[in-house]
Structure 1
Amino acid sequence: MVAGVVPVAAAQGAGGLWANAWPFPTVVVSAFLISWGAECAQFLVSQGMALAILAWLQALPEFAVEAVIAWSQQIHYMTANFTGSLRLLVGLGWPLIFGVAAFGHWRRERRLMTRIHLDEEHSVEVVALGLPIVYFLIVYFKGTLTLFDAAFLMAIYFLYLWVLKKVPPREMEEIEDLEAIPRRIMRLPRPGQVLAIALLFTGGGLLLYVAAAPFLHSMLSLAVYFGVPQFLFIQWVAPFLSEFPEKLSAMYWARQSGKASLALMNMVSANINQWTMLAAMIPIVYSFSVGAPSSIPFDEMQRREILLTVAQSMLGMLLLANMSFHVFEAGGIFVLWGLQFVRPHLHTEVTIIYFSWVAYELFMTLVVRKRLAALSAFAHIWRTHGARARGLPAPNG
Structure 2
Amino acid sequence: MKRVLPVFLAVGAACPWLYLRLVGFHGSPAVQAALSGAAILGAAFLLSWAAELAQLDISDALAVALLSFIAVLPEYAVDIYFAWQAGKDPTYAPYAVANMTGANRLLIGVGWSAVVFVYWWKTRSRILRLAERDRLELGALTLATVYAVVIPLKGSLSLLDTAVLLLLFALYIRSASAQSVGEPELIGPAAAIAALPQRPRRLVTASLFVFAAGTILLSAEAFSEGLVGTGKLFGIDEFFLVQWLAPLASESPEFIIAVLFALQGRANLGLRTMISSKVNQWTLLVGMLPLAFAISSGSPEAMPLDSRQASEIFLTMAQSLFAVVVLARFEFSMWSALALFGLFTTQFALPALHPPFIALYFVLAFALLLRDRGRLRTLGRAVHNLTARERPVEEAAVGPEEP
- TM-score interval (norm. to shorter): 0.7 to 0.9
Q: Structure 1 residues 327 and 300, CA, compared in 2 at 3 Å: closer, same or farther? A: same
- SS of the residue corresponding to residue 128 of structure 2 reads strand
The residue that corresponds to 2:237 in the other structure is: 229
Corresponding letter in the other structure for 1:352: A
Shift of 1:336: 0.7
Q: CA 1:245–1:289 in 2, change beyond 3 Å: closer, same or farther?
A: same
How far apart in 1 are the matches of 2:376 and 2:96?
A: 40
In 2: Cα distance, 1:27 partner to 1:153 partner: 26
Aligned to 1:37: 50
**TM-score, normalization by structure 2:** 0.77
| Deviation for aligned residue 1:227 | 4.4
Please say if residues 77 and 217 of structure 2, whose CA atoms lie closer than 8 Å, have aligned partners that are also in contact.
no
* Structure 2 residue identity aligned to 1:233: L
The match for 1:159 among 171, 174, 183 is 171
Task: Give the corresponding residue for 2:63.
Answer: 50
Structure-1 separation of matches of 2:228 and 2:125:
36
For residue 96 of structure 2, the aligned residue among 70, 78, 84 is 78
Matched letter for residue 102 of structure 2:
G
State whether residues 155 and 310 of structure 2, in contact with CA within 8 Å, keep that contact through their aligned partners in structure 1. Answer: yes
- CA shift in 2, pair 1:196/1:318, >3 Å: farther
Q: Kindly state the Cα deviation for residue 276 of structure 1 after the two structures are TM-superposed.
A: 1.5
Letter aligned with residue 228 of structure 1 = I
Q: What is the aligned partner in structure 2 of residue 286 from structure 1?
A: 293
Measured at CA, do residues 83 and 179 of structure 1 come closer, stay the same or move farther in structure 2, by a change above 3 Å?
closer
Q: Residues 57 and 136 from structure 1, CA distance in 2 versus in 1: closer, same or farther, beyond 3 angstroms?
A: same
1:82 is displaced (CA, Å) by 2.1
2:115 to 77, 91, 97: 97
Q: 1:305 to 1:24 in 2, by over 3 A?
A: closer
- The answer to whether the Cα contact below 8 Å between 1:46 and 1:164 also exists between their aligned partners in 2 is yes
Q: Does 1:261 align with 2:268?
A: yes
Q: 1:379 to 1:20 in 2, by over 3 A?
A: closer
Q: Aligned pair 1:321/2:328, yes or no?
A: yes
Matched with 1:330 is: 337
CA RMSD, Structure 1 to Structure 2 (Å): 3.4
Q: Which residue in the other structure is 1:382 paired with?
A: 391
The alpha carbon displacement at 1:226 in A equals 5.5
Inter-partner Cα distance in structure 2 for 1:290 and 1:210: 23
Sort the Cα spacing of 1:115 and 1:205 in 2 relative to 1 into closer, same or farther, 3 A: farther
Give the equivalent residue in structure 2 for 1:124.
136
Three-state SS of the structure 2 residue aligned to 1:116 is strand
Distance 2:39 2:71 in 1: 13
Q: Deviations over 1:156-187 (max 9, x none)?
A: 111111000111122x4x65xx4364445445
**2:349 aligns to what?**
342
- CA drift of 1:283 comes to 1.4
TM superposition shift of 1:331: 0.8
- Identity value in percent: 32
Shift of 1:42: 2.7
The one-letter code of the counterpart of 1:96 is A
1:262–1:196: structure 2 CA closer, same or farther, 3 Å change rule? farther
- State the match for 2:401 in structure 1: none
Q: CA deviation at 1:328?
A: 0.9
Measured in 1, the distance between the counterparts of 2:226 and 2:297 equals 30
Q: Distance in 2 between matches of 1:65 and 1:92?
A: 20
Supply the distance in 2 between the matched residues of 1:320 and 1:124 (Cα, whole angstroms): 12
Q: Which runs of 5+ in 1 are unaligned?
A: 1-10, 106-110, 387-397
Q: Residues 103-126 of structure 1, C-alpha deviation per residue, up to 9 Å, x if partnerless?
A: 4x1xxxxx5231322233322112
| Counterpart residue identity of residue 136, structure 1 | A
TM-score normalised to structure 1 length: 0.78
Aligned partner of 2:157 among 145, 149, 174:
145
Secondary structure of residue in 1 paired with 2:300: coil
Residue in 2 aligned with 1:308?
A: 315
- How far residue 45 of structure 1 moved from its aligned partner, in angstroms, is 1.4
Shift of 1:65: 2.5
Query: C-alpha displacement at 1:216, in angstroms?
Result: 5.6
For 1:136, the equivalent position in structure 2 comes to: 148
Pick the aligned partner of 1:372 from 365, 372, 378: 378
Q: Distance in 1 between matches of 2:306 and 2:299?
A: 21
Q: Take 1:376 and 1:77, find their aligned partners in 2: how far apart are those partners?
A: 33
For structure 2, the residue ranges without an aligned partner over 5 or more in a row are 1-26, 396-403
Letter of the aligned partner of 2:209 in structure 1? F
Q: 2-side partners of 1:261 and 1:295: how far apart?
A: 39
Query: CA contact under 8 A between 2:140 and 2:383: conserved in structure 1?
Result: no
State the Cα distance separating 1:207 from its structure 2 match. 4.3
Deviation at 1:198, TM superposition (A): 3.3
Aligned residues: 362
Cα deviation, residue 294, structure 1: 0.3
Q: 1:216 to 1:118 in 2, by over 3 A?
A: farther
For residue 277 of structure 2, the aligned residue among 270, 277, 280 is 270
The amino acid of 2:278's aligned partner reads: N
Tell me, in whole angstroms, the C-alpha distance in 2 between the residues paired with 1:212 and 1:120: 38
For residues 373 and 113 of structure 1, do their structure 2 counterparts lie closer, same or farther at Cα, with a shift above 3 Å needed? Answer: farther
Q: Deviations over 1:26-69 (max 9, x none)?
A: 54543443333333333421233223323333333322322232
